[in-house]
Amino acid sequence: MVTRVTHMLIKEFIQIFRDPRLKGIIFLMPMIQLLVFGYAVTTDVNQVATAVYDLDNSSASRELVAAFSDSGYFNVVEHISHPDRIHQVLDHGDIQAVLQINSGFSGNIESGRSTRVQLIVDGTDSNTAGIVMNYSSKITGALSREKLANRLSRMKGRMPEIPEVTLEPRAWFNENLESRNFYIPGVIAIIAMLITLMLTSMAVVREKEVGTMEQLMVSPIRPVELVLGKTIPFAFIGFADVLLITVLGVFWFNVPIRGNLFLLFFSTGLYLMTTLGIGLLISTVSRTQQQAMMSTFFFYFPAVLLSGFMFPIANMPTVIQWLTLLNPLRHFLIIARGIFLKGVGLPILWPQLVFLLIMGSAVLWLATRRFHKTLE
Global pTM reads 0.76
Find the mean pLDDT for residues 111-133.
Answer: 79
Judged against a pLDDT cut of 60, whether residue 363 lies above it is answered with: yes
Q: What is the pLDDT of residue 314?
A: 81
User: Of the given ranges (6-10, 34-38, 48-52), which has the lowest mean pLDDT?
Assistant: 6-10
Residue 181 has pLDDT above 80, yes or no: yes
Residue 159: the pLDDT is 52
Average pLDDT, the chain: 81
Name which of 177, 171, 109, 120 is nearest 145 in CA terms.
109
Lowest mean pLDDT: which of 6-10, 117-121, 228-232? Answer: 6-10
**Averaged pLDDT for residues 188-204:** 87
213 band by pLDDT with thresholds 50, 70 and 90: low
pLDDT reading at 352 higher than 90 = yes
* For residue 16, pLDDT beyond 80: no
Predicted confidence (pLDDT) per residue in 245-262, tens digit:
999 989 988 899 999 999
As a whole number, mean pLDDT of residues 64-89 equals: 86
Residue 12: how many CB atoms within 10 A of its CB? 18
What's the confidence (pLDDT) of residue 40? 65
Task: Name the band, by pLDDT with cuts 50, 70 and 90, for residue 323.
Answer: very high
For the cut 60, the answer to whether the pLDDT of residue 164 exceeds it is no
Residue 320: predicted pLDDT:
92
Average pLDDT over residues 85-110: 83
pLDDT level of residue 104 (50, 70, 90 thresholds): confident
The domain ranges of the chain are 19-41+178-375, 48-154
pLDDT digits (tens, 9 = 90+) for 288-307: 888 888 889 899 999 999 99
Confidence of residue 338 (pLDDT cuts 50, 70, 90): very high
Listed residue (188, 189, 367) closest to 276, CA to CA? 367
Closest CA to 347 of 280, 260, 273, 274: 260
Cα of 10 vs its chain's centroid, Å: 36
Do 298 and 279 meet the contact criterion of CB atoms below 8 Å apart?
no
Which percentage of the chain shows pLDDT scores above 90? 21
What is the rounded distance in angstroms from the CA atom of residue 317 to the CA atom of residue 91? Answer: 33
- pLDDT tens digit sequence for 258-283: 999 999 999 999 999 999 999 988 88
What is the reported pLDDT for 165? 46
Given this model, what pLDDT does residue 161 score? 52
Mean pLDDT confidence for 181-200: 89
**Residue 211 pLDDT > 70:** no
Residue 206, pLDDT above cutoff 80: no
| Residue 115, pLDDT score | 78
**Quick one: pLDDT band at residue 136, thresholds 50, 70, 90?**
confident
Is the distance from CB of 101 to CB of 56 less than 8 angstroms? Answer: yes
> Which 3 state secondary structure label does DSSP give 50?
strand
What number of other Cβ atoms are within 10 A of residue 60's Cβ?
A: 17
Domain topology for 48-154: abc type-2 transporter like fold (3.40.1710)
Helices assigned H by DSSP within the chain = 2-18, 20-23, 29-35, 59-70, 84-92, 105-111, 126-154, 179-210, 213-218, 223-251, 261-285, 289-305, 318-323, 328-337, 346-375
Spatial distance between the Cα atoms of 239 and 81, rounded to a whole number of angstroms = 60
